[in-house]
Structure 1
Amino acid sequence: MSLLPPAIDRSTLGLHSLEHYAPLIGAATAERIERKADRVRMMQVAHISSTFYGGGVTEILTPLTLMMNAMGIETDWHLVQGTPGFFACTKKLHNALQGQELEFSEQEKAIYEEVVFENATRLHLEKCDAVIVHDPQPLPLVRHFAEREMPWLWQCHVDLSSPHPPVWDYLRGFVEPYDAAIFSLPEYGQGLGTDQRFMTPAIDPFSPKNAELSEQEIGETLKYHRIPTDRPLVTQISRFDRWKDPIGVIEARRKARRQVDCTLVLVGNNASDDPEGHVILETIKRSIDDRVIVLAVDDPILVNALQRHSAVVLQKSTREGFGLTVTEAMWKGAAVIGGDVGGIRHQITDGKNGFLVSTVDQAADRMVQLLNDPQLRRRLGARAKESVREKFLMSRLLEDWLDLLVRYERPVCQ
């Protein structure tokens, strides 16, 4: 008998069933995850974030919530609704958590807290067995459910290694009522009066962005988007954000071009909760030459084709909570140059499955090295793909969540 609601069958969840992962992770691992799921199959879980579109949280929650439902865990995904003023405030909080020194005024605090309160009145979570809140946008929600019986868990996806102290002091007052705070890496942990847990993000290898593509499909996709292939491609894919250092990427390519020719492609989208994106995009457009292509699109097939075809994939971030675009490129066997920060350094072992860089000059030098050495690109790419298979597939993240849900499982009343 299916544990899913009558209107849903496992077959309709297709590639999100655990069985589909068995050839990648092995039958023994798949069976272990199934056994862990037995204890929590009938739980009702709610995830709360700020957008269905753009950014790493969406990339994680889209497959994760589907996999949880496929396992028989009734999983909802709610959004925080907000005004442009609210998202301007939360973008400042995001930047401050990643170390930018800024003032968060009393007026901004009032806007932030009032909009979250309004959202709390719309949420009906009484039947949930666990509530999982993502990032700073919905963080204060917990204060409006003082009579809660279920565990509330806050997951922070940003680089919290050196938050701006005044802003963090303000936000930690909302964090500590949670039953646990979850961070991507141990170095993001803070001195909190609540339990702290750590789990690295992961990718869905079967999504349109990550699934296998034929050479014909790759060629047709690049041709459709008018991306020339007469010279090697160097690509960076990320939302248009200052922390991704797109201007540094453009300068690195300009320096590398003195020794080896290439075309740079920058692809990004503007998430609905990021009001700074269009400003960064306009700055990028003013900084390019004729061999730099900038595309503001949300096309997973294009991302897939570019990461598979490019000679070099960059993610030259100066702050990075984890860096799923790095994971995605490594899964496709790409030669990746990443910023030596945050979660990128937990994915790339310098010189073994990619390169880590801290400056524009280092990025340019590695670019030249890779463009001139196809065998090195293939060797790094093969090791990169294997490291993702071992550590960063969505099945592993599902298992992490099963372990955590069991830990905070409420006793069943007799």
Structure 2
Amino acid sequence: MVRKCVMYFGPSQAPLLQVGFRGLVQTDVGFRAHLTTIQNYKDTCGASTWETMMTYADKLRRDNTRIAFFSSTPQGGGVALMRHALVRFARRIGVDLSWYGKHYSKARDMINHVLSLLLMNKIVPKPLPTALRITKNIHNILQGVSPPSQRITAEEKKAVIHWITENAYRYWLSESGPLRPAEEGGAHIIIIDDPQMPGLIPLIKRFTPDRPVVYRSHIQIRSDLIAKDSSAQADVWKFLWSNIQLADMYISHPIPAFVPHTVPRAKVAYMPATTDWLDGLNKPLRDWDVGYYGNMYNASCHAQKMTELHWPARKYIIQIARFDPSKGIPTAIDSYAEFRRQCKVADIEDTPQLVLCGNQSVDDPDASIVYDQTLDQIMSLCPELMKDISVMCLVPNDQLLNTLISKAHVVLQLSTSEGFEVKVSEALHAGRPVVATKTGGLPLQIKDSVNGFLVEPGDWRAVASHLMDLFTNNALYERMSHAARTGVSDEVGTVSNALCWFYLASKWRDIGTKESGKAVLQPHERWVYDMARDEANCPYSADEEQLPRCSIEDKKIN
């Protein structure tokens, strides 16, 4: 029993990540913990959403359809959070859906990983070799946040392909692996997440050319820079597109400008990022739990000699995001410094604190660099505020982040480049007004001056002005808080995410990939959610909250 406890739970009593045979990501303590019921999920969405989802779930169960997702990291980022929720939900309703990540190549790697968890009091898995640095550079280049001179060399491209190919042949193409033909136990439909894994697509198509493969892009891709032939973005995209073009469908966040011009529009479909209203990030917490996780945060701060939170004696502003060059952390600091200057002029003594925190993604080597840069900026720009700013790279703990968001007065998301940051929807769901930038998918979630404010990237003066309004105008704050809490769409929840993937799996299983040499399921830039509702003959009702659909003007690349 002691051995099992050590294997499944860390020193903080939080469940440890379980990655099993072939890199199969095993959610909820290796599928042993049953955290939810079907009724719990049904209560998180409208009747139309649930009925449509069940239409496709029933068909997948009847046909014994197997679905496999592949991504580079099983923990830490938004993609991992969505996949954990999707796997948990699919298992609950009986759909055969699996998720595979990078496999530990040697037994001693796993042993060292477990030892590091115990000795270092961390749940963050052991980092991957140099491939992670390369894929992170690719990520930064595509988002336009890398140094102008940075390029991906031919040797680095070969290293990434070698990493993917080695894992594929060793674990996923071997006997009974998920990439084997469906008649040999492999998946019927395969989804590849983000620019780390597209090297799998040619391998899949080589062995099973008629098996559907969907590529899912989760980041803001600077299509305007890709359109410039000599740019680093064009070079990286050419490398990626040589593999991605073999996929049968290209799914992007619902921003047309995120899709490079080389992608045929007939192949493109849109899908937002989602969150799970039942998991630790969003579920209601008792006062005792809030106190427990608040003390946990302050204990971590104390251990690192970082500023502790004084809530509820003092309110606080928060931005929760990875320590990443694209997350606008310098703007958050500049905004807070200006806000505090305005408070001083207005003779406001009860000033709030600022919290900048986030989990480190397993495949993100930039976190420690950006963390150090953040502390350097505070010490050089506003050292007198260091006692009021708490900067923490946290051990992954959903309830802790839930506590921090739900008790914040205002939430910031000041990214300079962003896909569809679901932390915004989580903050709105908790009734927190959000100040965010007009970048990526953020404007789709925030109704300007209704449930938050939208500003231009880097405009710290505007952010400071909105903070003054939200801290001095109680009527405005209460109105925005109510609008935030009551205006979140079903489309950003787990059930809707499952609806979209179940529809695609069901449809591709029915029609296959080839008909007269052409892929027959061509979305032509439609939202997958809309396609699924239409197919199920389930029209929208007048009272359903919907995310804004892009107009023709939005499709123009500036």
Instruction: Establish whether TM, by shorter chain, passes 0.5.
Output: yes
**Higher alpha-carbon deviation: 131-140 or 77-86:** 77-86
Match among 63, 69, 88 for residue 91 of structure 2: 69
Q: Which has the higher contact order (CA 8 A, sep 6+)?
A: 2
Matched, 1:214 2:286: yes
Match among 320, 326, 342 for residue 237 of structure 1: 320
**Higher alpha-carbon deviation: 374-383 or 199-208:** 374-383
Count, aligned residues: 402
Matched, 1:253 2:336: yes
Matched, 1:54 2:49: no
Q: How does 1:113-262 map to 2 (within 5 A)?
A: 113-121=161-169, 122-123=171-172, 124=177, 125-126=179-180, 127-145=186-204, 146-148=206-208, 149-162=210-223, 163=226, 164-187=233-256, 188-190=258-260, 191-193=262-264, 195-226=267-298, 227-229=309-311, 230-260=313-343, 261-262=351-352
**Cα distance 1:80–1:284, how it changes in 2: closer, same or farther (>3 A)?**
same
2:390 aligned partner:
293
Determine if contact 2:86/2:494 at 8 Å carries over to the other structure. Answer: yes
Structure 2 distance, partners of 1:152, 1:16, is 31
Shift of residue 11, structure 1, vs aligned partner = 11
Where does the alignment leave 5 or more consecutive residues of structure 2 unmatched?
Answer: 1-30, 104-126, 181-185, 227-232, 299-308, 344-350, 379-385, 513-558
Q: How does 1:328-367 map to 2 (within 5 A)?
A: 328-358=426-456, 359-367=459-467
1:263 aligned partner:
353
Residue aligned with 2:412, SS: strand
What is the one-letter code of the residue matched to 2:74? F
1:303 aligned partner:
401
Determine if contact 1:84/1:275 at 8 Å carries over to the other structure. Answer: no
Determine if contact 2:46/2:490 at 8 Å carries over to the other structure. Answer: no
Structure 2 distance, partners of 1:156, 1:322, is 11
Deviations 1:218-242 (A, max 9, x none): 2342234222123220001011101
What is the one-letter code of the residue matched to 2:49? T
Residue aligned with 2:68, SS: strand
Matched, 1:21 2:41: yes
1:94 aligned partner:
139
Structure 2 distance, partners of 1:95, 1:87, is 12
**Cα distance 1:71–1:250, how it changes in 2: closer, same or farther (>3 A)?**
same
Determine if contact 1:311/1:377 at 8 Å carries over to the other structure. Answer: no
RMSD: 2.1
Structure 1 distance, partners of 2:338, 2:190, is 49
Match among 46, 58, 65 for residue 43 of structure 1: 65
**Cα distance 1:322–1:411, how it changes in 2: closer, same or farther (>3 A)?**
closer
Match among 492, 497, 507 for residue 392 of structure 1: 492
Determine if contact 2:217/2:252 at 8 Å carries over to the other structure. Answer: yes
Where does the alignment leave 5 or more consecutive residues of structure 1 unmatched?
Answer: 1-9
Residue aligned with 1:408, SS: helix
Structure 2 distance, partners of 1:220, 1:159, is 37
TM-score, structure 1 as length reference: 0.92
Q: Which has the larger radius of gyration?
A: 2
TM-score, structure 2 as length reference: 0.69
1:7 aligned partner:
none
